[in-house]
Structures are given as structure tokens and as C-alpha cells.
Amino acid sequence: MRLTIVGHLKGQLTQATRIAMDRGAAVTHAESVDQAMRSLRAGRGADLIMVDVALDVRELIEALEAERFHVPVVACGVEHDARAAVAAIRAGAKEYIPLPPDPDLIAAVLSAVADDARDFVFRDPAMVSLIKLATQIAASSASVLITGESGCGKEMLARHVHAASPRAKAPFVSVNCAAIPEHLLESELFGHEKGAFTGATARRIGKFEEASGGTLLLDEISEMDVRLQAKLLRALQERVIDRVGGGKPVPVDIRVIATSNRTLADEVRKGTFREDLLYRLNVVNLKIPPLRERPADILELATHFAKKYAAANGLPPRPLSAEARVELARGRFPGNVRELENTIHRAVLLATGPEIGAETIRTPDGSPLDSTPRGPAARAAETAETVARGFVGRTLADVERDLIIDTLGHTRGNRTHAANILGISIRTLRNKLNQYDDEGFPVPPPQAGVAAA
């Protein structure tokens, strides 16, 4: 847990630092917003920032957003300074800690964001076998590829590998390759030198250097552009990186873990993923079964989430009734652990009696869980039938237009990415978009920070 405290270390703030260190946090200090930003650009990293409300909290949060540092911020100040506390929350601070600091409150805030506070709950034999393998290979520095459906716990397993490895005390740095625009991802991973491109006003250390000595998680790596994959391959092979605009290779010492909810061998056949990169990443493949194939985990996780969300919402702990347990065991949970967690959170809030009853085990719209046992072929046929019904009565041109515009919206307006997904040339895509624009159909423009081409 890396904590950065921003403000002048006087009395009560010094005491907060001491409490955080006693709770196991690695604490760094910056006296000003500028100094804090310089520290982050230098790759020192932070899992949480605690800032004195005497400073400009809004300036700090806007600076973090502008440079894409995704770090939660909590404000702290003297108890009677209510106006400053409200201003800090409105500026984007996640929490306000009154000073003098309460040790239990600081411990609660730290545990809410600490990596080691994430519970990894499992009981099913399939998961027991997988965790045994993950623990066995954790001691090496071999690259690991974790695959599985969305919501099944790929990042949790990656954190387990890191925690069980000799790198456990070094940083664990995660990058979501699907969430960062293509033209920014290279700088995010490898960093850049001052003046490397428009807006590069200072040197920025990338995630490879920030994770040096520890573990770098490349989440949803299948979304990475093929051109950037070549640079990633060199970094994995030679253990050196080149900052954008830099002239000298920078050595790095990291272990890379990648995740994907797609079959990368299929992406190789499509030409959207490099075969040599797949071989480099796939030294060990940890494939997480979907929750519907881990029946023993469903009730174990449900019990865990029921306790967690009762405590989080200040409610008395309630056990799951026998009927609720039967209802959960019948569920298919296409959203996997993420869907189960939301289902139990909702049930905890709806429960009124001494137990969590079956009537609270519902989807967000109030309907029962999908419990129809279907094989892959039946599920695929049902999906195909549903899609086909939506096409009836429409022209081929209408369907094509909607597909192109929806895909462009998915890529946040990036034409090149959309053309790759659709399997057409960028020139063909641009001609189609010009035609739709002339016909009066709304064409999604590139979103802020996303290149059009």
C-alpha cells in the first residue's frame, strides 16, 4: 500500500503519517500539489493520496485527471473546518478525514484501497486446483496469461500470483488496455520525454518503469493495437523500453501478467494479435472457469458478500435462508462473480426478516435469476435467434449503417479501430461515414483525447 501525503507536515498531519506507517503503508510526502505531481511523473506511484484541505484540492484532482493518474484522493483537515471539507468533497475527494486523526478511521480508509484487503474466496475443486497451480508458478518470473469470461476474477488471480511471488513487496501496477485510447496507451506504458508530442510538458515515467521490481498487469491485452504489440514484444524479450521521444533504452525488471476474455489464438487467426507475442506471454496459461461451472463457489462467495455488504451498509448480518441458497445454486450467472456480488448486495438491502429470503434474490428489474440449464449450443442458438428477430423487416443498408455507427461509438470515435473491427479499409469506412452524414444520420465524433484516424 503506497500512500502519498500532500501538505506541510505539522503536528496532526505528522501523526496521521505515523499511524499510516504503523498500519503497513509505505508513505511518501509532498509539500505542494506541484511536488506531488513531480513525484508521480517520476514513477514513484501511489495507491492513495491524502491531501490537506489547506491546499487547493481541486487543482490536485484536475492535475491527476489531466495526466491520467487514476489515484483516489482523500482530504484531511481540522474538525471545525466544515466549509473546507464540503469544498474538498465537491472537488472530487472520496472522503474527508478530520484531524486530529483517528487511528481506526485511517485504518478503514487504508484497508478500503489496499491491495491486500481484497478477499480471494473459493471452495470449488476446480478453483482449488487452479490456485494451487498459480501459487506454484508464482515464484518464477515467467509471464502469465490469465483467461476467462468477464467478471470471473482474472485481476484477483493476478494479484494472488503477485502476492505469492518474491516480488510481493514491490509495486503491483495495473493497466486496462481497453480503457485507454490507442494513441495514449504507448505513453501510458512506456512513458515520454518532455516535448515528445503536443501536451508533453514534462517527462512522464510509464507503467513499465513504475512497476520495476514488481508486477505489471496488462488487463484485456487483446484490445491493444497490433503496432503497439511489436513494442511490447521487444520490452518482454529484451527487458528494455524506449520512452516516447527518448533516445536511450531504459532497462526494466518486471513480471508481466496479461488477461483476456477472448481466445487469443482466434485473434491471431484474424490478424488482430501477434502470434509471437502470444507465445511470449503464454508461458503459463491460467484459465478461470466461469462461475456456473464452479457450483461450490457460488454459496461460499454469496455468504462472503452477504457479510461484506451488511457491514458496509451498517445493517445487521443475516444468513442466507435455505430457499435463497437453492435459488442461488440454480442461477447461471452469465456475469460471473461480478453479477453474483451485485445480486447479493441488492439482496442485503432488500432483506427485512432475520434471514435473506429467496424473494430478495432477483435481477435488477425484479425478475427471477436465469436458472435454465443450457449447453453452449443451446445458448448460442437462442442468441442467434434473438439477433435475427431484430433484423426482420429492415433493409441490408439499414442494418449495415447501424452496425458501422454502433461500432464507431464502441471505439469512442476512433476510425482506424472501428475499421479493424469491421474488417473493412479505413477508406471504405470514411466513405460510408460521409454518406451517412450527408443523409442526416448522426455520426459519432472522436471523444476527447481520442484520435479520429
Residue ranges per domain, the chain? Answer: 2-117, 126-287, 299-360, 378-438
Residues 272 and 231: their CA atoms lie apart, in Å, by 15
Q: What are phi and psi of 357, to 5 degrees?
A: -85, 170
Q: What is residue 417's predicted lDDT score, i.e. its pLDDT?
A: 82
Name which residue leads in pLDDT, 221 or 396. Answer: 221
Q: What is the mean pLDDT of residues 433-441?
A: 85
Residues 16 and 8: their CA atoms lie apart, in Å, by 12
Yes or no: domain 126-287 corresponds to CATH 3.40.50.300 = yes
Q: What are 409's three cell numbers?
A: 461509438
DSSP annotation of 290: P
Q: Which of 15-24, 212-221, 269-278, 288-297 has the lowest mean pLDDT?
A: 15-24
Chain center to CA of 356: 30
For domain 2-117, give the CATH superfamily.
Response regulator (3.40.50.2300)
Q: What is residue 377's predicted lDDT score, i.e. its pLDDT?
A: 52
Q: What is residue 347's predicted lDDT score, i.e. its pLDDT?
A: 94
Cβ neighbors of 78 (< 8 A, separation 6 or more) are 12, 98, 99
The CA–CA distances, whole Å, from 338 to 54, 149, 150, 417 equal 39, 11, 8, 28
What number of other Cβ atoms are within 10 A of residue 286's Cβ?
A: 21
The percentage of residues in the chain with a pLDDT greater than 70, rounded to a whole number, is 89
The CA–CA distances, whole Å, from 385 to 268, 333, 395, 411 equal 28, 21, 18, 26
Name which residue leads in pLDDT, 99 or 190. Answer: 190
Respond yes or no on whether the N-terminal peptide bond of residue 100 is cis (omega within 30° of 0). yes
Q: pLDDT tens digits, residue range 61-72?
A: 898 888 878 888
Evaluate whether 126-287 and 378-438 have a shared fold.
no
Q: Residue 161's beta-bridge partner residues?
A: none
Cβ neighbors of 164 (< 8 A, separation 6 or more) are 134, 135, 138, 139
Residues 95 and 88: their CA atoms lie apart, in Å, by 9
What number of other Cβ atoms are within 10 A of residue 22's Cβ?
A: 11
What number of other Cβ atoms are within 10 A of residue 66's Cβ?
A: 11
- Contact assessment for residue 99 and residue 106, using Cβ atoms and an 8 Å cutoff: no
- Collapse the DSSP code of 207 into the 3-class scheme (helix H, G, I; strand E, B; otherwise coil) and give the result: helix
Question: 251-263: string of b/e by CB count within 10 Å (b at 16+)?
Answer: ebebbbbbbbeee
Q: What is residue 48's predicted lDDT score, i.e. its pLDDT?
A: 87
Q: Does 406 score more than 90 pLDDT?
A: no
Q: pLDDT tens digits, residue range 156-214?
A: 999 999 989 999 888 899 999 988 888 789 989 999 888 888 777 788 889 999 998 99
Mean confidence (pLDDT) of the chain:
84
Q: Which of 4-18, 86-100, 385-399, 422-436 has the lowest mean pLDDT?
A: 385-399
Q: What is residue 372's predicted lDDT score, i.e. its pLDDT?
A: 57
What number of other Cβ atoms are within 10 A of residue 181's Cβ?
A: 19
Yes or no: domain 378-438 corresponds to CATH 3.10.20.740 = no
Strand order in the sheet with 73-78: 26-30, 2-6, 48-52, 73-78, 95-99
Rg from Cα positions in the chain: 24
Euclidean distance between the first and final Cα of the chain, in Å? Answer: 39
As a residue count, the chain comes to 453
User: Would you tell me which CATH number, out of the four given (3.40.50.970, 1.10.8.60, 3.20.20.70, 1.10.40.60), belongs to the domain 299-360?
Assistant: 1.10.8.60
Residues 79 and 200: their CA atoms lie apart, in Å, by 39
Q: How confident is the model at residue 26 (pLDDT cuts 50, 70, 90)?
A: confident
Name which residue leads in pLDDT, 384 or 113. Answer: 113
Q: What is residue 386's predicted lDDT score, i.e. its pLDDT?
A: 42
Across 19-130, the runs of DSSP E, i.e. the strands, are: 26-30, 48-52, 73-78, 95-99
- Collapse the DSSP code of 365 into the 3-class scheme (helix H, G, I; strand E, B; otherwise coil) and give the result: coil
Strand order in the sheet with 144-147: 172-176, 215-219, 255-260, 144-147, 284-287
Q: Provide the residue type at 4 as one letter.
A: T
Q: How confident is the model at residue 449 (pLDDT cuts 50, 70, 90)?
A: low
Q: What is residue 112's predicted lDDT score, i.e. its pLDDT?
A: 65
Q: Does 393 score more than 70 pLDDT?
A: no
